[in-house]
Chains A and B, each alone.
Chain A
Amino acid sequence: MNQNNGQLLEVRDLRTYFETEDGLVKAVDGISFVLKRGDTLGIVGESGSGKSVTNLSIIRLIPDPPGKIVSGEVIFNGQDLLLLPGKEVRKIRGRRIAMIFQDPMTSLNPFMKISRQLMEMTQLHLGHTREQAYQHAVKMLDTVGIPDASERANNYPHEFSGGMRQRVMIAMALSCEPELLIADEPTTALDVTIQAQILELIKKLKHETGTSVILITHDLGVVAGMTDHVIVMYAGKVFEQAPTAELFSTPGNPYTKGLLRSVPDPTAEQGQLYQIPGLPPDVAHRPPGCPFAPRCDRVEEICHREFPPFVQLNADQCSLCHFAREVYAESGGVGADL
């Protein structure tokens, strides 16, 4: 279903709030982005910025209570997912939008054989018979690089190492050839060499199957290597969005610049590592003005008073800041005087 200029997913003004004892937590407060078919979108942000909640909202896995998707639209292939009845959403989950989670240690049911967990996917969504599902499961395990797939398929999760389990999760996610894969920090819990392997695997599978990917991470290195477009999130809002290369070379937002500065440079001298001072805000009690104001190095009086505008810097890049144009120009961006 190719519609909307090859746009697979469009999220418009998504707001997800949680009612807690501390007050109303606006975990996601007006996120909008577009994912084109075949693209990889990276969502970057600190812990608590609302990255995971955004993705759970897309497939409506927010626990209700206490969370609620208050407003917004999630238009997947022309259909607003937020308006669909529960049954329809279940059909989409796994079949057309698949999700893999952060911790492979706990994402697999310890009591079920891997083969059964894989088979459940295709039996449920594609209507495979047991035999067909089993063959498919073994094939998927092979595709993700599990050696001796036909033997290992009958093992239990605890017989696999972390990297292997994440591969199994990827196999599960891609079993039904979904159009969108949401990977929520898929490599955070793994060591660095395995991280590289898993990311390569995702890239390879993406090329082979044409799946679009949303990759959530807090690791800018991963973003640089894997994504086509990036959104930077903070306190439930999009602070900057741009194509990856531009984000790294000409950031238009002080927060983004701060993040980039925080990445340790292995070639530089051992000085003090830069870190953005302060902590992410308490999303339940946000003061007026820019949420990043308390920590920004460019902060001025207006930042504490008024909420910043979402400035379009050039055709593909936007930034949420009172001084977006200045920051953009400082980092060498051109064409910002629209």
Chain B
Amino acid sequence: MNEKRPPHPGEEKSVESALTPLGTPPAAPREADIIHLGPEMAVAEADVRSAETREIVRGTSLWKDAWRRLLKNKLAVFGLVVVALVTVAAIIGPAVIKRISGFTPDYIPTNDVRLIKAFPPFTGPDGRFSWSHPMGTDTAGRDQLARVLQGGQISLFVGIISTLVSLLIGVSYGAVAGYLGGRLDNFMMRLVDVLYSLPYVIVVIVLLSMFRSQTARGQLILLFIALGSVSWLTMARIVRGQVLSLKNQEFVLAARATGVSTTRIIFRHVVPNTLGPVIVYATLTIPQIMLTEAFLSFLGFGVQAPLASWGSLSADGIQNIGIFPWQLIFPGVTMALTLFSLNFLGDGLRDALDPQMRTF
């Protein structure tokens, strides 16, 4: 293709001189330019290339690549680490505290009203430094550290389970609407629009008031359902959008050509391809739900005593903010830290997964 031909009249001589003159040996290729041939380039009928070339091509899955990307994002790693630490602390914390100092979240040291007072952090009953209450106590004498940890348990639990509920509803709804299309899709999405317009906090409050449960545990379950059922809307929209673009991909047609039923196609072929945005959005939904739960508990609708969540702890704490500020500061700061770590993690995941998901 680079044969020398007589330059056409008017053609710049500089074009020819820009090319390496024929006859000069090519410069040695840089390491970065060398493409290592892997076994897949071998002609099928020819003999398979030797073992050395095989190790250069190692299978990477989309997930591994995304993980590597995530690790490069410092903020996301910070978020991940904090969330991991908080989760571990929330899970084993109360048990550990119980072993060490014998305090449980609802342990009230004495029934003598005169002796009960709130201790500031790291203070013992005699006013001197003591390790017994690193976060102080509340007005009833209960150890704050244990309460904050238990609060973490409950808040995280509510966040995660409600997110799972909303995920299940949202993904199924969105996938079915997106795949089936037409009038059904229209109807389903208009329904979502209507639900969107409802002030969800009010809906949740109404639900919780109507179905008040006797036990604290029952109240928790109600909370899951109520929170989960108002937060699936955006998830449904996201999944529907993804499915709409995916269903025109040829692999869906190929799957149909092999006789796979529609339900299988939706849930086994199309939905797994939407996992990227779903994971991102789920990670961002958890802090949203936790905040809503905190708000509800603050108002008195959420978690009931003796269970504590960060929201209810903050509600208790705010009553004495002038005198015992630590009662608000500790749960508040812990919660804020967890929420923004989750948000950083979610953002990091979005960056890590997003470009990957577009390569097909």
Contacts and interface: CB of A to CB of B under 8 A. Distances in A.
A167 B44 contact: yes
A93 B61 CA distance: 30
A112 B257 contact: no
Contacts of B72: none
A164 B39 CA distance: 11
A65 B182 contact: yes
Interface of A: 59, 61, 65, 90-95, 98-103, 105-112, 120-121, 124-125, 144-148, 152, 154-156, 158-161, 164, 167, 169, 172-173, 197
Interface of B: 39-45, 48, 57, 59, 61-62, 182, 249-251, 253-261, 269, 272-273, 275, 359-360
23 contacts: A59-B257, A61-B253, A65-B182, A90-B260, A93-B259, A94-B259, A98-B258, A101-B250, A101-B254, A101-B257, A105-B360, A107-B250, A108-B251, A109-B251, A109-B269, A124-B258, A124-B259, A124-B260, A125-B259, A146-B44, A158-B360, A159-B59, A167-B44
Given A106-B251, A107-B250, A154 B259 contact: no
Given A106-B251, A109-B269, A147-B44, A61 B360 contact: no
A110 B62 CA distance: 9
Nearest to B270: A109
Contacts of A121: 258
A223 B130 CA distance: 91
A266 to B, nearest CB: 17
B259 A147 contact: no
Given A106-B251, A125-B259, 8 more contacts: A90-B259, A93-B256, A106-B360, A107-B254, A111-B275, A147-B39, A147-B42, A167-B44
A109 B260 CA distance: 13
Q: Which of A59, A106, A144 has the most CB of B within 10 A?
A: A106
Of the candidates B44, B45, B57, B259, the one having the most CB atoms from chain A within 10 angstroms of its own CB is B259
Contacts of B260: 90, 94, 120, 124
A168 B273 CA distance: 20
A112 B272 contact: yes
A203 to B, nearest CB: 14
A90 to B, nearest CB: 5
